[in-house]
Amino acid sequence: MPVAGGAVFLKECEPVQAFEPVLTAALYERWPDRVPEVLGYDVERARLLMADAGGPIGARGNPPETWQAVLPLYAELQNGEADHVDEHLTNGVPDLRVPTLPARYEELLRHSLPLTADEIGRLRGFE
Are 87 and 122 in a shared domain?
Answer: no
> Would residue 58 count as lying in a domain?
no
**Dist CA 124 CA 2 (whole Å):** 47
Are 87 and 110 in a shared domain?
Answer: no
Give residue 1's pLDDT. 64
The residue count for the chain: 127
> Would residue 18 count as lying in a domain?
yes
pLDDT digits (tens, 9 = 90+) for 53-82: 888 888 888 889 999 999 999 999 999 999
pLDDT digits (tens, 9 = 90+) for 78-107: 999 999 999 999 999 999 999 998 888 888
> Would residue 112 count as lying in a domain?
yes
- Whose CA is closest to 11, among 57, 35, 39, 46? 46
Are 90 and 109 in a shared domain?
Answer: no
Tally the domains of the chain.
Answer: 2
Give residue 127's pLDDT. 64
Are 28 and 88 in a shared domain?
Answer: yes
Give residue 3's pLDDT. 75
> Would residue 68 count as lying in a domain?
no
Residue-range definition of the domain harbouring residue 87: 1-53+81-94
